[in-house]
Structure 1
Amino acid sequence: MITQKANIESNSDLQPPKTVLDYGTIFNKAPVGLEYYDKDGILVDINETALRIYGCADKEHLLKSRICFYDHPNYKSQIKNEADKYRTCTCNFNYDFDLLKKENYYLDSKRSGKVRIQNKIEPIINEKGEIEGTIVSTLEITEDTNLRYEQLYREKEIITEALPIGLAIYDKDGYQQFINPALASIFGVEDIEVHLAKHINLFEDPIISEHLKENIRNNDITEASIEYSLQAVSQTNYFDTGLPETTITARVEK
């Protein structure tokens, strides 16, 4: 890394004192990850923030490994051909540490799994139109993304619980994961948590026909209406309801 110093000197007492600007310090202490690759795509410098993001403790060992940016398995979708090397690219994607180890790209990272990162790939082009190097700046945004998902999930819960119509959500195996208060009232469920703990399965529902269940399994259905008899349900062990004989219209959506 080249360190450049800028000096400001003046005979005037009104001028500020001599200032030394160390770009090496700025590079290393920047709050975003910074990497510099040479014209051949070989990593020649990386700052402290980037080392933390990538889980690398030994900078010197990393640089001696002659990491090539163009061979990076996580950037294959951004750098697909020679022309892509000359383009500035801003992207937001899941950075896969397990993929690095699987493809023997870099084995010494202490991190595993995937994290969400946002980065900018900026080629440095000289007057002849040749690449002199590439700068990559990186931010890890996993926590921000998780917070957004949590906020959306809370908003979804608030909306579904306030709906005036009954709503139930099942997982891919048919197990009931959620019912809103309106549905609990319709089916005579007094305690939703106790009800969900019984692991109610859609494919064991005695009211839903086998043909409809098969369509649901095969993802061949988008919507269907059925007449649902609570009396018939109460005569089985599917779930208990304290309501009198009632028939309701239910709609199944995939």
Structure 2
Amino acid sequence: NLKGEVVGINTAIVASGQGIGFAIPINLADGIIAQLKTSGEVTRGWLGVGIQDLTPELAEYYKVKNQKGVLVTHVFKGDPADKGGIKAKDIIIEIDGKPVPTARELSSTIAAIAVGKKTTVLLIRDCRKKKVYIKIAKRQDDESLARKEPGESDDLGIMASELTPEIARQLDFDENEKGVIIANVKPGSKGELAGIRQGDLIKEINRLPVLALNDYHKRMQKIKKGETIHLLIKRSRVGFIVIKITK
């Protein structure tokens, strides 16, 4: 700023963007600097839930006033939220007394909490407010996140999982991206031989959209053994590719 104070740190510049760039706000950088000074590494808090913003329809359905809060879509087994009693379809409205009106706000709030800290989570369940107490864990690396709660391996040797906003960000997808993430591929399976990789995002099966895990299972169940499957896949840092495979 005009006083010579640092207000942000540049992280990327869009070469074709006529001066467009990206920066980390200094308030976030301060926390990172403090961690580096004390421990030599940067850690992020982890709750262990899949989340999404409340739409007006969901807010009305769950009777949430002013559409403020974050819907829990999934709870990872064995993680802090699961141990603390958070359930799918809970609506988180506060963390340690701080309102969290959006999924982005919730994610950044949890990430900033010290690992091991006992945190108070205020949520709405069955139209009633409820407090639960969660011991925040350390967020794992990208590969571990992609493996969370995979479905059972299918005929192709693919283990599919829901794409949560948290996993999407870790794998460099937009947090509002839709699709099913490949959590694991069995060595030597049809999926591996066809070129499917862990971290791939399935967008379509035979030109039909795959928005969630139930779509994936429905599409795959309708395909008979021996039939050809065309998968439209989005791969981080690569883009869209089509993989042809026989069931």
Aligning the two structures, in what range does the TM-score lie when normalised by the shorter sequence?
A: under 0.3
Q: Which has the larger radius of gyration?
A: 1
TM-score (norm 1): 0.19
TM-score (norm 2): 0.20
